[in-house]
Amino acid sequence: MTSESATNATAPIVQQDLFLGIDVGGTSVKLGLVDASGTVHAKNALATPSLGTPERVFAAAIGFADSELSSGSCKKANLAGIGLAVPGVLDAQEAVLREVVNLPGWQGKRLQEILSEVRDLPNAVVNDANSAAYAEHALRSLGNKSLALVTLGTGIGSGLVINGSPYGGDHGCAGELGHIAIRFGSNAVRCTCGKRGHLEAYAGSKGVVRQLHSLAETANNSDLRAALSTGDVTPRDIASRAQDNCDLCITVINQTAEYLGQAIGQMAQVIDPAVVLLGGAMTFGGKQSKVGQRFLETVHSTIVDTTLEQVGNNLKVEFASLGNDAGVIGAAMVAQQVIAS
Ligand SMILES: [Zn+2]
């Protein structure tokens, strides 16, 4: 790696190792040629449904890399490895997806073998949440430290990097934060997984809207009840109303932050990571807004209130930085890590 390449993404690259990152989602496949420092030198996105099977997706991805390396912005660079990030429950030992939605034809396939058949290069397969977490970890130069990236939206998940390496667990389910129980007993709200009291039922986007609904009914707030009756109120709308001083919206965001803080606190008490990041679609405005900053502060203070001092007080809680490119960067860097080890 040269310092010019790390700071100037548009400069032509000469004889540098690049890694192809492939981040597969249900609607699009994101591709990137990434150097050892995590700088993206070329990227593209393709529609997943039109590509279909892993064989076709990988062939298209290699086609993109070859084109960039032969005549595009990465001319003369060397393709050193391929990293693949996939959603769902990944058996990391076998590189096989055991459970996945929206990717027909992917479950049960030996992904590493198919990648090798398409191009015989070192490769690695990683869960997409862990891939994004690994990219954020590399960005912060955390070395052998641990990090959790919590993604907030309809579902709540987390990517884990433990001691400097992505960690998926023995059954591909490590970091499934949405299914940590925060309430117990027969009155606890039922989760999408069928069990009761899970975080996702309270702090996933549907749970947040349901709680606002319940508060608006109790307070007999006709304005909010009318808005909620349309069924289109989103956490983004709730953040915007909170910005305009809607008390009930502020309350529901606070409550959500407390639920999250309780669950993240449990995870932090077990893993004792250096950093926890909040990302995904439901950050209530993120660090750019006062509402988002208060949300983050309440998550953090709840973690501090519910964990040992050494855990909560030493833990950094921040918003994620990399957004949409995180999966591609992380996949490429995991491939690099495999080659280096
Ligand atoms: Zn659940």
Q: Tell me how far the alpha carbon of residue 57 lies from the centroid of ligand 1, in angstroms.
A: 31
Q: Does domain 3-121 have CATH number 3.40.50.2300?
A: no
Please, which residues have CB less than 5 A from ligand 1, an ion? 179, 191, 193, 198
| Long-range contacts from 170-174, C-beta under 8 angstroms, 24+ separation | 171/89, 171/91, 171/98, 172/88, 172/89, 172/90, 172/91, 172/92, 172/98, 172/99, 172/127, 173/89
- Whether 147-320 and 3-121 are alike in CATH topology: the answer is yes
pLDDT value of position 72 = 76
Q: Tell me how far the alpha carbon of residue 201 lies from the centroid of ligand 1, in angstroms.
A: 7
Q: Tell me how far the alpha carbon of residue 88 lies from the centroid of ligand 1, in angstroms.
A: 15
pLDDT value of position 74 = 84
Q: How many CA atoms lie within 13 A of 30 on its CB side?
A: 21
Quick check: 6 pLDDT over 60? Answer: no
- Give the tens place of pLDDT for each residue, 83-140: 999 999 999 889 999 999 889 899 999 999 999 999 999 999 999 999 999 999 999 9
Q: Tell me how far the alpha carbon of residue 179 lies from the centroid of ligand 1, in angstroms.
A: 4
Q: What's the CA dihedral at 213, 215, 218, 220 to 10 degrees?
A: -70
Q: Tell me how far the alpha carbon of residue 307 lies from the centroid of ligand 1, in angstroms.
A: 23
Residue with tokens 């000469």: 14
Q: Tell me how far the alpha carbon of residue 234 lies from the centroid of ligand 1, in angstroms.
A: 21
Q: Tell me how far the alpha carbon of residue 177 lies from the centroid of ligand 1, in angstroms.
A: 9
* Top CATH class, 147-320: alpha beta
- Give the tens place of pLDDT for each residue, 63-88: 999 999 998 778 888 999 999 999 99
d(CA 177, CA 58): 30
- Give the tens place of pLDDT for each residue, 318-329: 999 998 899 999
Q: Tell me how far the alpha carbon of residue 197 lies from the centroid of ligand 1, in angstroms.
A: 8
- Give the tens place of pLDDT for each residue, 268-289: 999 999 999 999 999 999 999 9
Residue type, 122: P
Q: Tell me how far the alpha carbon of residue 73 lies from the centroid of ligand 1, in angstroms.
A: 45
- Give the tens place of pLDDT for each residue, 296-317: 999 999 999 999 999 999 999 9
Residue type, 172: G
d(CA 125, CA 133): 14
pLDDT value of position 338 = 85
- Give the tens place of pLDDT for each residue, 190-231: 999 999 999 999 999 999 999 999 999 999 998 899 989 888
- Give the tens place of pLDDT for each residue, 221-273: 988 999 898 888 999 999 999 999 999 999 999 999 999 999 999 999 999 99
Q: Tell me how far the alpha carbon of residue 5 lies from the centroid of ligand 1, in angstroms.
A: 44
Q: Tell me how far the alpha carbon of residue 199 lies from the centroid of ligand 1, in angstroms.
A: 7
Q: What is the mean pLDDT of the chain?
A: 92
Where do the structural domains in the chain lie, given as residue ranges?
3-121, 147-320
Q: Tell me how far the alpha carbon of residue 196 lies from the centroid of ligand 1, in angstroms.
A: 7
Q: Tell me how far the alpha carbon of residue 263 lies from the centroid of ligand 1, in angstroms.
A: 13
pLDDT value of position 324 = 87
**Residue 70 CB coordination number (10 Å):** 10
Q: Tell me how far the alpha carbon of residue 71 lies from the centroid of ligand 1, in angstroms.
A: 48
pLDDT value of position 26 = 86
